[in-house]
Amino acid sequence: MTDRTVGDIVAALEEAYPPNLAESWDAVGLICGDPAEKVSKVAFALDCTQAVADRAVELGADLLVVHHPLLLRGVSSVAANTPKGKVIHTLVRGGCALFAAHTNADSARPGVSDKLAELVGITPGRPIKVVEPNSTDLWGVHVPAAHAQEMLEKLFDAGAGTIGNYSHCSFAWDGSGGFTPEDGADPTDGVVGEHYSAKETRVQFVAPTKLRARLVSVLREVHPYEEPAFDVVTLEYTGDINTATGLGRVGELPEAMTLREFTQQVANALPVTEWGVRAAGDPEQMVKKVAVSSGSGDSFLGDVARLGVDVYVTSDLRHHPVDEHLRAGGPAVIDTAHWASEFPWTTQASEVVATAYPDVQTEIISLRTDPWTISAHANNETNETN
C-alpha cells in the first residue's frame, strides 16, 4: 500500500479536468468513498455498470474512475435492491471509491475529444463550442447620479470592476431616464399613475460571470430604486481559439479523402462495437476539414455547419435532425457508438494518474459497456426498399 490517498488522486484528476469546466447540469467529482483512504490501485472505465463495479473490486482497486456519473439524475434511494444502489453497495463493501470526470473532461485540454480527434487522424484545434470557466460579464446600470458612486463602491467591494492589474474600473455617462409607477409600486421618486423623468447616469463595468448572482443581490440592496434598470451580457472569448477549452474539436486531415474512405478510417480507429460506424452524405465527396465531438453531439449540427467543416464525427445522431441538417446544406456526418467515441479517454485518464503518482498501479477495465449486442442486415433481396 502506498501513502497516496483517494484525495491525492482526485486532486491530480481535477487538475487535468477542472470541475469548473463542467456544464451546469452535470454532476462530477467523488461519488462515494473517503478522500483520506489509502490508494495503491486505480481502475478506469467509461461507465460504472454492475459488471464494471464487480470487476473493479475483483482487481483490488481502491478507486474507480469513470466518465459518466453514476448519479447524474436524482434518485430517492441507493438501497442494495436498486440498480444504482447495488453498484454503490458493491463498491463500498469492496473498499473502492468512485470518481467521475464528465463534461469537464470533455472541455479540458487535452480531453475526451482530443483523444477522439487524434484517433480519427486530425490534430485537434479549436473547440466547436468554447467553454471558458473564467468568463467575464459586461454590466450596465442606470442610477440617479447622486447614488452612482456609492453603488459602484459596493459592487467593487463584491468583486466587480477588475481588469488585469487595475481595480475600480468603470465608465459612466449621463442621460435621462423615465418611468410610470403603476398600482402596487412604491417609487423612490415620482408618484403612482404619473410619468416621471429625471437625469440618470449609466455606469458600465466588468465582473467575473461566476459572481453574477452575488452582484445582482448587492445591486438590488444598494440601488435606490425599487426596480433597478440594468443589463448583463457575457463577453465573447478573445483568447487564442485554437487552444481554448471547450466541447468538440476541429482539425484537418493530412490529405483529403472520400467520405467512404474516411468513414472506414474512423471505423478502423475506434473500439469495435455491434453498432459499428455509419455515415450520411455523398460517399464520394472529398473531405479534409473535420469536426469531432465525443458522445451525443447532435446539438452541434448547426455549429459545425457554420464552421465550414466537410464532415462531422459524433455519436447518437437521430433521423430527423440529420435529415434536416443535410437538406440545409450541412456537412456530411459520421455516427459512431457513444461508448466507442469516449472509451479511448480511459487511456488518457490513466496516464494522468500514472504520471502524477508512478507508485500507484493503474488498470483499464476493458469490458464493453456499449448496450447494443446485435446488429443485423437482411441476407436476401426481399426486404430491399425501392
Residue 385: its pLDDT value, please?
53
Task: Tell me the pairing of strands 136-143 and 229-234.
Answer: antiparallel
Query: Is 313 within 8 Å of 291 (Cβ atoms)?
Result: yes
Q: What DSSP state is assigned to residue 43?
A: E
- Within 8 A by CB and 6+ apart from 86, the residues are 50, 80
Q: Which amino acid is at 309?
A: V
Residue written as grid cell 467521475:
100
Interatomic CA distance for residues 309 and 349, integer angstroms: 29
Q: What is the pLDDT along the chain (386 residues), one digit of tens a residue?
A: 789 999 999 999 999 999 999 998 999 999 999 999 999 999 999 999 999 999 999 999 999 999 999 999 888 899 999 999 999 999 999 999 999 999 999 999 999 999 999 999 999 999 999 998 888 999 999 999 999 999 999 999 999 999 999 999 999 999 999 999 999 999 999 999 999 999 999 999 999 998 999 999 999 999 999 999 999 999 988 889 999 999 999 999 999 999 999 999 999 999 999 989 999 999 999 999 999 999 999 999 999 999 999 999 999 999 999 999 999 999 999 999 999 999 999 999 999 999 999 999 999 999 999 999 999 988 876 555 54
Task: Choose the final residue of a domain: 234, 264, 281.
Answer: 234
The answer to whether residue 42 is domain-embedded is: yes
| Whether residues 253 and 120 fall in one domain | yes
| Whether residues 127 and 273 fall in one domain | yes
The answer to whether residue 271 is domain-embedded is: yes
User: What's the half-sphere exposure (Cβ side, CA atoms, 13 Å) at 138?
Assistant: 8
| Whether residues 140 and 126 fall in one domain | no
The answer to whether residue 381 is domain-embedded is: no
Domain tally for the chain?
3
Interatomic CA distance for residues 180 and 33, integer angstroms: 58
Residue 10: its pLDDT value, please?
98
CA–CA distances in Å: residue 57 to residues 46, 80, 94, 273, 365: 16, 16, 5, 25, 11
CA–CA distances in Å: residue 92 to residues 50, 64, 300: 13, 11, 38
The answer to whether residue 285 is domain-embedded is: yes
Q: What DSSP state is assigned to residue 83?
A: H
Query: Is 30 within 8 Å of 99 (Cβ atoms)?
Result: yes
| Whether residues 248 and 216 fall in one domain | no
Domain region containing 143: 136-234
Residue 78: its pLDDT value, please?
93
| Whether residues 166 and 300 fall in one domain | no
Residue written as grid cell 467591494:
157
CA–CA distances in Å: residue 172 to residues 175, 203, 205, 215, 218: 10, 4, 9, 18, 19
The answer to whether residue 196 is domain-embedded is: yes
Beta bridge partners of 313: 292, 334
Strands, sheet with 136-143, edge to edge from the N-terminal-most edge strand: 171-179, 196-208, 136-143, 229-234
Retrieve residue 280's grid coordinates.
450520411
| E strand residue ranges, the chain | 29-32, 41-44, 63-66, 97-100, 129-130, 136-143, 171-179, 196-208, 229-234, 246-247, 249-258, 277-280, 286-296, 311-315, 332-336, 361-364
User: At 119, which CATH number?
Assistant: 3.40.1390.30
Interatomic CA distance for residues 324 and 342, integer angstroms: 26
Q: Which amino acid is at 385?
A: T
Binding site listing for a divalent metal cation = 67-68, 106, 338, 342
| Whether residues 247 and 126 fall in one domain | yes
The answer to whether residue 384 is domain-embedded is: no
Interatomic CA distance for residues 215 and 159, integer angstroms: 8
**DSSP reduced 3-state for 252:** strand
| Whether residues 262 and 121 fall in one domain | yes
Task: Choose the final residue of a domain: 184, 214, 234.
Answer: 234
| Whether residues 187 and 253 fall in one domain | no
